[in-house]
Amino acid sequence: MTDDFFRNRLDQMIDLRHPLAVLANRMPWQEIEASLAQRWARQVKAGKKIEDLDLFGPVSAVASGGVSNAGRPRLPTRLMVALLYLKHAFNESDEDVIQRWGETPTWQYFSGNEYFEHQWPCDRTQLGRFRKALGEECVEELLARTMEVAVTLKLIAKKELTRVIVDSTVQEKAAAHPTDSKLLETARSKVVEGAKAEGIELKQTYAKEGQLLGYKAGRYAHARQFKRMRKVIKRQRTIVGRLQREVAREMSTLSQAIQETLGQTLDNAKRLVTQTGSRKAVGNRAKLYSWHAPEVECISKGKSRNPYEFGVKVGLAMTLKGNLIVGARSFPGNPYDGHTMHEQIEQSAILMQGLGVKPEVVYADLGYRGVDKDNPDIEIKHRGKDKRLTDEERRLLKRRQAIEPIIGKQWDGRSHLHGIEMCQSGDANQPLEQTGASDMKVTTVGIDLA
pLDDT at 418: 27
Q: Which of 69-73, 184-188, 191-195, 333-337 is the least confident region? A: 69-73
> Looking at the structure, do residues 394 and 316 belong to the same domain, yes or no?
yes
> Looking at the structure, do residues 342 and 403 belong to the same domain, yes or no?
yes
Is 412's pLDDT higher than 50?
no
Is 167's pLDDT higher than 60?
yes
pLDDT at 245: 93
Rg (CA), the chain: 28
Question: Is the residue at 59 inside a domain?
Answer: no
pLDDT at 417: 27
Helix (H) or strand (E) holding 317: strand 308-319
163-202 burial, b at 16+ Cβ within 10 Å, e below that, comes to bbbbbbbbbbbeeeebbbbbbbbbbbbbbbebbeeeebee
324-338 burial, b at 16+ Cβ within 10 Å, e below that, comes to bbbbbbbbeeeeebb
Q: Which of 65-69, 306-310, 371-375, 411-415 is the least confident region? A: 411-415
Question: Is the residue at 56 inside a domain?
Answer: no
Question: Is the residue at 287 inside a domain?
Answer: no
Q: Which of 48-52, 139-143, 282-286 is the least confident region? A: 48-52
Structural domain including 240 reads 180-276
Question: Is the residue at 43 inside a domain?
Answer: no
Question: Is the residue at 322 inside a domain?
Answer: yes
**9 and 118 Cβ atoms separated by less than 8 Å:** no
State percent of the chain over pLDDT 70. Answer: 82
**441 and 427 Cβ atoms separated by less than 8 Å:** yes
Is 450's pLDDT higher than 80?
no
> Looking at the structure, do residues 18 and 148 belong to the same domain, yes or no?
yes
> Looking at the structure, do residues 166 and 301 belong to the same domain, yes or no?
yes
pLDDT at 54: 62
Q: Which of 47-51, 79-83, 117-121, 430-434 is the least confident region? A: 430-434
Question: Is the residue at 443 inside a domain?
Answer: yes
Is 235's pLDDT higher than 50?
yes
**pLDDT for 173-221, tens place per residue?**
888 889 999 999 999 999 999 999 988 899 999 999 999 999 999 999 9
Nearest to residue 357, comparing CAs of 330, 326, 329, 382? 326
> Looking at the structure, do residues 310 and 414 belong to the same domain, yes or no?
yes
Question: Is the residue at 197 inside a domain?
Answer: yes
* Alpha carbon distances (Å) from 88 to 16, 81, 139, 376, 412: 22, 11, 13, 35, 8
Instruction: Tell me which of 213, 243, 276 is where a domain ends.
Output: 276
pLDDT at 214: 95
> Looking at the structure, do residues 146 and 166 belong to the same domain, yes or no?
no
130-162 burial, b at 16+ Cβ within 10 Å, e below that, comes to bbeebeeebbbbbbbbbbbbbbebebbeeebbe
Q: Of the spans 168-182, 229-243, 303-317, 397-411, which averages the highest pLDDT?
A: 229-243
> Looking at the structure, do residues 107 and 184 belong to the same domain, yes or no?
no
> Looking at the structure, do residues 353 and 420 belong to the same domain, yes or no?
yes
Distance CA 403, CA 424 (A): 12
pLDDT at 140: 86
> Looking at the structure, do residues 81 and 191 belong to the same domain, yes or no?
no
Q: How many domains does the chain have?
A: 3
Distance CA 436, CA 327 (A): 29
Question: Is the residue at 319 inside a domain?
Answer: yes
Give burial (CB, 10 Å; 0-12/13-18/19+) of 4. Answer: exposed
**pLDDT for 359-396, tens place per residue?**
999 999 999 998 999 899 899 999 998 889 999 999 99
Three-class DSSP category at 68: coil
Give burial (CB, 10 Å; 0-12/13-18/19+) of 258. Answer: middle
pLDDT at 51: 66
Q: Which residues contact 374 (CB under 8 A, 6 or more apart)?
A: 338, 339, 341, 342
28-52 burial, b at 16+ Cβ within 10 Å, e below that, comes to ebeebeebbeeeeeeeeeeeeeeee
State percent of the chain over pLDDT 90. Answer: 39
Kindly indicate the confidence band of residue 62, based on its pLDDT and cuts at 50, 70 and 90: low
